[in-house]
Amino acid sequence: MKTLKNIVRNMIQEFHKKTYFRQVLLSYIVVSCFTFLIFSILLLSRIQQENNRTILNFGWQNIEQAMSFNDSSLHDISNYAYQMLDEAATYRLLYGDTFDLPTSIASREIYDRIQSSNSMITSLDFINFSTGTVLTKSRRMSLDEYYDKDLLEYIGTLVPSRRPVFYQPRVSYFNGKHTQTQRVLSLIFYTNSRGALVINLDYDSYASQINLARNSGNMDLIIVNHNHCVMAASQDSYFMQDLSADPLYQEILQQHADTGSFTWQSEMGAQTIMYRKNALMGITYISVISPHKAYSRSYLFGLTFRYSIVYILVTSMLSLLASMALYRPVRHLKHTIHINELMPDENAGSTRNDFELIETVFQNLIEKYTALKQVRHTFEHQKEQKLLRLLLEQPSAAIQPNSEDFLVLDNSFEYENYMVFVVNVDMPSEPDTENDLSLIKFLIENVTMELMDGIAAIRSIETITPRVLFLANFAGFDDRRREQFLTAARQMQELFRQRGQFQVAAGFGSVTDALDTISVSYETARTALDTGMLHAMDSIVFYDEMQIPPFDEQTYPFTIDTAVTAAVKNTDTAALDTALDHFFEAIRPYECDQIHRHLSHLSDALQRFEHANDLGTLYTENDLNSQPRLLSEYREQFQNRCHSDIQALSEIKLHNHSKDALISQVQNLVSENIYNANLSVIMIAEQVGLSVNYLRNIYKENTGESLSTYITGCKLEIIYELLAKTDTSIQEISDRLGFATKNYFFTFFKKHTGMTPNQYRSQNKIE
């Protein structure tokens, strides 16, 4: 007893002093009670719905059962009756003008056969209007003697038809040894105006076989014939009722559908009405379901409320005990915080409740953890990027396949297949700053990874180049995945074309199944990108789809090279264009690097031709890699260059008719400037307006010696004459002819004569 008091006292103290404990307790009670209340309401509402659905199904089952019975039993009675009507004996009995002994004998047999065809048939009436008689089981009587005048009157209102008519249930009188009454349901077969067959069914037996007893106190089943009279009903009060003026029945008749249900408001409340019309037999089936008092909404909510009160009381006691158990870890946690000095200094003397105090401590821990996690993530990302770059660029010196770093990196990939692809953006202008380029690369990375999410696991690889590298990791590569990559790349192209007016190209490398061999995929991706961009700046190329000849077959087309230079030499532009077309078609399927080598080789061949024909100054665009970008642009560049060479050669040929005059002009210029120290081939070329090489070639072709030799000969003739005929000093001769020094003069003279000037003078002096 004392222990119980201590527990209660401690609980009360905790409740008053500890805010967190109070919050846990009250929250648990409120949430538990509210949850129980909602659950109870939903559960009982569900029970009510299921009960209503069961009752509705029961109503439809009653209708279906009644229809099934009518369609079978009444249909069988009708078929048998029509068979009998087609027999000659029955025809004479109903429509004959006389009633003789054979007819009387036959009538008994017909009566017995029809009555024995179904156990519900109690009696038959053969009415013959021609003879004015009615034949029953007991006797034959006149129409005036017939006890059911209403039936005769009703038949008189009918039009003969092959369809049987259901006459309203009524009490029929039977004449035998003892007069008796019985409730019957009559079927009238009135196919000929001269007579009618009336089959009386036992009403109680008919209702019993429809199984109306299954209907409960809140459900009624009513069967109405085409005259709006009740054929059968679950309640005996409906017997012999005419529903033609009943509002509910009128509402059913106004429904367009043959089958349906609706809600009807009556004195008993909202009733559910289900009906089905059988147009062939003229019968309407009606099921009326009234509210069930035992499962009303007010009853269900009242029951819920009573159970909720009990639940709240029990829950409050259990919640108090549970709160003590829940608060124990909080108390222990506070003790741990104080021991480990995790509380910030500014919160050491805080009067805040337990929850706020613990929240502050954990918030500080989360901030520190987040900072450490960010540092670790940055470190791991940088390390991963470094390892991937090493694997791409230096696979042999990167990391060993069995090293710890490689295993960690390899395990970070989920699938076994890898593929590198490179994306290049061709911007309208160069980025202003390095930040602009970084922003563009950032956009490319994010857009590409978003578009290709779901195709493969994509990682970007940081580089210092404007191009963006990606490493795709996936389970298997097939035509479907290839098409997905292609679709995503085209979407990326369209996005950057519309938003940034950028042309985006992509090169997809080969697929490899090992991480340490992705350098091969990287090389093939670069080859695919560079080669594709030679043909179109927005190309998307898969390396395995490229039809690249083997490297040893990517040879330089020397024959076409010769055809190009020959066409230029012959100044034949048509042949030149054809040769250039053949050259570029030959190198088109080659790899990008090989194409650039062959273009450089062709440029060197043209340069040699231009120098040989003194055309070297006509073309100055020597750097093939800095000017054009597309293969078509390279072709246009070479075409313009060759056309310029052809034009220059054509102009040179136009001057061939004045070569003799040119030779004379050159020789006169040499004579006039023989004492000029600047006399040289270069000076003469400037004087006549020709290039040095062209002037040398023209002079030698027409004189047989070079222009330099001619100038040297002219100078030697003057020197010979001055040495042999005059006493002019050697120094004066050297100065007069423009030699820079006397020693150079001696060297020049000895080179061409084999002796010194003094030796020549002593041997050839003329006195």
Q: Read off the pLDDT of residues 291-348 as tens digits, 9 standing for 90 and up.
A: 654 455 566 666 667 777 777 777 777 766 666 666 667 767 766 776 766 665 545 5
Closest among 169, 159, 192 to 122, alpha carbons compared: 169
Q: What is the pTM of this model?
A: 0.42
Closest among 343, 318, 334 to 20, alpha carbons compared: 334
Cα separation, 483 vs 360, in Å, equals 53
Helix, strand, or coil here: 559?
helix
Q: What is the pLDDT of residue 654?
A: 63
Q: Which residues of 670-686 are buried (b: 16+ CB within 10 A; e: fewer)?
A: beebbeeeebebeebbe
Span 694-747, pLDDT tens digits: 888 888 888 888 888 988 889 888 888 888 888 888 888 888 888 888 888 888
pLDDT at residue 488 tops 60: yes
pLDDT at residue 625 tops 50: no
Mean pLDDT for the stretch of residues 587-615: 85
Contact 693, 733 (CB under 8 A): no
- Environment class of 201 (CB within 10 Å of its CB; exposed 0-12, middle 13-18, buried 19+): buried
pLDDT at residue 105 tops 80: no
Q: What is the pLDDT of residue 617?
A: 47
Contact 498, 445 (CB under 8 A): no
Closest among 43, 30, 119 to 76, alpha carbons compared: 119
Max Cα–Cα distance, the chain, nearest Å: 202
Cα separation, 683 vs 739, in Å, equals 16
Ranges 1-15, 378-392, 708-722: which has the least confidence: 1-15
Region for 368 from its dihedrals, namely left if φ exceeds 0, alpha if ψ lies in -120 to 50, beta otherwise: alpha
Q: What is the pLDDT of residue 430?
A: 62
Residue 17 or 129, more confident: 129
Contact 406, 516 (CB under 8 A): yes
Ranges 450-454, 480-484, 613-617, 649-653: which has the least confidence: 613-617
Which residues share a beta bridge with 201?
121, 185
pLDDT at residue 238 tops 90: no
Ranges 19-33, 120-134, 192-206: which has the least confidence: 19-33
Give the pLDDT band of residue 213 (cuts 50, 70, 90): very low
Give the pLDDT band of residue 435 (cuts 50, 70, 90): low
pLDDT at residue 215 tops 70: no
pLDDT at residue 127 tops 80: yes
Cα separation, 112 vs 262, in Å, equals 46
DSSP state string for 497-545: HHHT--EEEEEEEEEESSGGGHHHHHHHHHHHHHHHHHH-TT-EEEGGG
Mean of the per-residue pLDDT values for the chain? 79
φ, ψ of residue 466 to 5 degrees: the values are: -65, -20
